Structure 1
């Protein structure tokens, strides 16, 4: 009966991250530095708010766009932190994680044949959603540009079929982020054109040496930008599945239709947990961010000792060193690392062909785990 399956679905493969993780999961004594998930627990006051929501029977459908109090809190938070101005009634949608927000945005925007520009290497979750929406993903090679998708590269890749640009910074897998000037140059390039930027800013709370700047903060492109964010990374709430979209009302009213028929609304209990996180947990990410910074600095120090080449991460909790051995592909090298060194990193080609020759290491692990993992990697490199 497989011939009845939609061809677009059949052509999509499981994420290279998960594919590799599943392959090596049966190996014994393997220390994994592969999963991009906070190793902190959800703050206690957030969990208590969810329990209170259950006890208060807040277990029914909510408004399709989410509880208005939560949308109010989101609007106030992004205004205070990122100088963004969005009407909570018409320009904020609470989604089932950032991933669902990306999905419904692309399905709303794209028609068959529309091109979407995105960096390479890049998180592997975008390309399948582009294809499922009928779009054509166009990767821009950023490996030789400090892993930054800048205005000059975007301009070279633009065609009359370009509908959308995905701007995912801070980046998974590289940890690189863009400066205010670099974002300004992109805004100047696209202002007034029939283009939409999908700005995935899920790691906006985890930025180290500079303040996070959203491209939506530039007035000339404010109405050409859909911002994706959420509480998964900022408040260690990956399993609660709460993200949100910010965008101009003229687009959001259509995205809301897709959202409505897709999920009706985000889980009510999780929404109340997110309300607590955003209203009363504004400082929760600070301690996590500082710990990630210490871990990043430790990993960079160890990589320097090994002579590995990398770009210093400015945010998120990933580092993307160049790691190659002879004629082995990144995937083959990843397997060799598991078998010979007992350490698992994610092969760079999981993040498009432009990630070949690199490996992604997540430092969202405690220091003891990182020390053991780096010791194993160092021993492998000496051999």
Structure 2
């Protein structure tokens, strides 16, 4: 008897999480982390910092808890935070956002992405993303029973072909979902690419969901929100969060901004997901968004230094690196070695090298794995001494790759 996929199966299938028998599998992140723990390896696989965010911001959250901010926050987020988000968008990007109607606070950026996709997708609608992609995208597209189309980003530039992008977006496209700066490749898209996305959204009457959580983490280049470009704002839901910009990934405070009609739809769905969260964290994030520009520039500079430590170390070991323009991540190319299957290598590394990394191929459609099988993603959002220790261990990697 044939039984159609349940919602959880569609979600797992979309995110490539089903095993050969159709049962839910373990993600590569969980598997590699377990191996790193087992072998006491340095975990450069998961993208979370090993330093705390600013002490004065943490203290605001502590004080809020002690003063009783422990019950439901308003569904849209506290006004103080919505105003801070509005002021942040104006200060950095000259975007005029109404805190009353054009901002909604979410439980992390991932919930905002989920709410946006569920708000606008009907079964059979098409969503275009760049590939590789954050794994949550495929899962949510699967849950919405929509169709996932990809435009590949090819090494070493990881810039999309404009012609392939034009071919992918059609009148069946409901959402173009972009992540800029881009995880897992570390690229930052050119204004040419962003302007083409806007033009296609207008031509085919679709919306843009812009995941910009790494907006302040760019190196030698400036982040340009797609909503700030001509024609962009009226069709764009812009999503960000406090996790990456302030090293508070566990607080799960995110937000979406955009025109009233789009944010109203996101808010309508969001209220049936978590309704609200983080009442003590929200005033702290509001204060964080008001930190001096020097804070944001200093944090990005520290990350750039970490990227250089790791990239120099890998290159000194003879492993080519695609240096990032932003995010927490860089990509190493092992295609020239005897063993170049990054999934197999990633599983061996915790025991044989003492460092954990993630294969880039887990961020792609199963049929496209071969295009990325010789690429490894490393996270450099770690203390300099941790990265230096990892670099020392990574000098053993070429030997492992050539056995």
Q: TM-score, normalised by structure 2?
A: 0.88
Could you say which residue in structure 2 is the equivalent of 1:203?
A: 214
Aligned CA distance change for structure 1 residues 342 and 91 (closer, same or farther; 3 Å): same
Partner of residue 356, structure 2: 344
CA offsets 1:82-128 (integer angstroms, 9 cap, x no match): 22222111110000000001000000011111111111122212100
Determine which of 272, 287, 290 is the counterpart of 1:276.
287
SS of 2:232's partner is helix
> Which moves more between the two structures, 268-277 or 91-100?
268-277
Match of 2:185 among 166, 174, 181: 174
Equivalent position of 2:21 in the other structure? none
Residue 367 in structure 1 maps to residue 384 in structure 2:
yes
Q: Please name the residue that 2:342 is paired with.
A: 330
CA–CA distance in 2 between the matches of 1:282 and 1:125? 31
Contact 2:36–2:43 (CA<8 Å) still a contact in 1? Answer: no
Of the candidates 124, 132, 139, which is equivalent to residue 143 of structure 2? 132
CA contact (8 A) 1:15 1:350 kept: no
Residue 308 of structure 1 is matched in structure 2 by: 319
2:63 equivalent to 1:46: no
Q: Find the partner of 2:372 among 326, 330, 355.
A: 355
When residues 9 and 127 of structure 1 are mapped into structure 2, their CA distance, relative to the original with a 3 A threshold, is closer
Structure 1 runs not aligned, ≥5 long? none
User: What is the TM-score normalised by the length of structure 1?
Assistant: 0.92
Residue 171 of structure 1 aligns to a residue whose secondary structure is: coil
Aligned-partner SS, 1:60? coil
How many equivalent pairs are there? 381
Of 51-60 and 220-229, more deviation after overlay is shown by: 51-60
Find the counterpart in structure 1 of residue 154 from structure 2. 143
SS in 1 for 2:123: coil
Aligned equivalents of 2:213, 2:50: Cα separation in 1: 16
Residues 15/209 of structure 1: CA separation in 2 closer, same or farther (3 Å cut): farther
Are residues 236 and 144 of structure 1, via their aligned partners in 2, closer, same or farther at CA, if it must alter by over 3 Å? closer
Of 3, 8, 11, which aligns to 2:10?
8
1:185 and 2:196 are equivalent in the alignment: yes
Query: Tell me, what secondary structure is at the counterpart of 2:127?
Result: strand
Give, in whole Å, the separation in 2 of the partners of 1:76 and 1:239. Answer: 24
**Inter-partner Cα distance in structure 2 for 1:365 and 1:101:** 27
Aligned-pair CA distance for 1:192: 4.7
Per-residue deviation, residues 147-177 of structure 1 (Å, max 9, x unmatched) = 1235433102123321111110111111110
Of the structure 1 ranges 72-81 and 341-350, higher mean CA displacement relative to structure 2 is found in 341-350
1:251 aligns with 2:268: no
Q: Distance in 1 between matches of 2:238 and 2:252?
A: 17
Bigger shift: residues 83-92 or 102-111? 83-92
Partner of 2:22: none
CA-CA distance at 1:213 after TM superposition: 0.3
Q: Secondary structure at the match of 2:273?
A: helix
CA distance in 1, matches of 2:349, 2:362: 16
Q: SS of the counterpart of 1:256?
A: helix
Aligned in 2, Cα 1:197/1:149: closer, same or farther, shift over 3 Å? farther
CA change 1:380–1:312 in 2 (3 A) is closer
Structure 1 residue 281, shift from structure 2 partner: 5.9
Q: SS of the counterpart of 1:360?
A: strand
User: Contact 1:120 / 1:355 at 8 angstroms: preserved in 2?
Assistant: no
Q: 1:8 to 1:184 in 2, by over 3 A?
A: closer
Name the SS of the counterpart of 1:125 in structure 2. helix
SS of the equivalent of 1:175 reads coil
Residues 1:377 and 1:328: Cα distance change in structure 2 (over 3 Å):
same
Unaligned regions of 5+ residues in structure 2, if any? 18-24
Contact 2:318 2:398 in 1 (8 A): no
What's 2:98 paired with?
87
CA RMSD of aligned residues (A): 2.2
Q: Would the alpha carbon gap of residues 149 and 10 (structure 1) be closer, same or farther in structure 2, given more than 3 Å must change? A: closer
Alpha-carbon separation, structure 2, partners of 1:80 and 1:145: 34
- Residue equivalent to 1:158: 169
Counterpart Cα distance in 2 of 1:300 and 1:328: 19
Q: Which residue of the partner structure matches residue 398 of structure 2? A: 381
